[in-house]
Amino acid sequence: MIAAFSSKRRIFLALVVAFSGCGRGAPAPKSTSAAAGPITVSAAASTKEVVEQLCKDFSDSTDVKVQVNSGGSNTLASQIVAGAPADLFLSANKKWAEEVAKANLAEKTVRLLTNDLVIVVKKGNAVAVHQPSDLMTDKVKKVALAGEKVPAGIYADQSLTKLELLKPLTEANKIVRGEDVRTALSYVERGEAEAGIVYSTDVQVDADLEQACAFDPKLHDEIVYELVLLKHAGGNADAVKLFEALQASAADADYQKFGFSRAADAANASK
């Protein structure tokens, strides 16, 4: 009986060895990420369109699924620190990229893009805003800004403060806040605010809007978008490839199409 059991065991082991060799020589799959789930990119609201385009191009060429989660950089950073799934994080300022790094969640960070801060109005500029001080005129009832912790809101507050406009605009009850820069833009789109302070790239989203004027960059911190490869994604070859693809010169045409410029040292700066 023992001999019969041993014979059966030898046959079973032989079959295991035979089947384990069947896959040898078979072509490797194009990517392992599809089985593991999509790569998630948490991107500042102002970059939504260009990041979605670049991620689509990446997916089309690699068969790797990528999903884009856009929102205010402060909200996205808080979600990541709290444990929300994300492989890459594109922040609209240095501060929120650093918050993720302080939580020991960043594998690598690079300076990627820059932008301009502008005042947006409805096409035709019926409210005659040609400089920031015009926001105080009677024609402008409301001015839409992003939230106080959102990069666009931070830049706006800095600029208005230096121009000595933030306090009088606040006291006149003219300022309305959106959860991110696109929400602020939507207030102007819907006529709930006569003017808004957003990025120059945001103006392209709606043909019914136009840029009234731009702020002097000296009035606010440098506008720089930092791209973060999150630590848990460091061993994911596909996530690393996407991190590199977003920095590649091949992406420049799309960045320019959507109005972004490369940060001055984007090609070399990393940490």
> What are the extents of the domains in the chain?
37-115+223-262, 117-219
Tens of pLDDT along the chain (271 residues) come to 434 434 444 433 343 333 333 333 333 344 444 345 689 999 999 999 999 999 999 999 999 999 999 999 999 999 999 999 999 999 999 999 999 999 999 999 999 999 999 999 999 999 999 999 999 999 999 999 999 999 999 999 999 999 999 999 999 999 999 999 999 999 999 999 999 999 999 999 999 999 999 999 999 999 999 999 999 897 899 999 999 999 999 999 999 999 999 998 764 443 4
Q: Tell me if domain 37-115+223-262 and domain 117-219 are identical in fold.
A: yes
Does domain 37-115+223-262 fall into CATH 3.30.1490.20? no
pLDDT at 245: 97
Fold held by 117-219: D-Maltodextrin-Binding Protein; domain 2 (3.40.190)
Helix (H, G, I), strand (E, B) or coil at 68: strand
Residue 148 and residue 180 in contact, taking contact as beta carbons nearer than 8 Å: no
End-to-end CA distance of the chain: 67
Position 235 scores a pLDDT of 85
Report residue 125 CA to chain centroid gap.
30
- The β-bridge relationship of strands 106-114 and 225-230 is antiparallel
**pTM attached to this predicted model:** 0.83
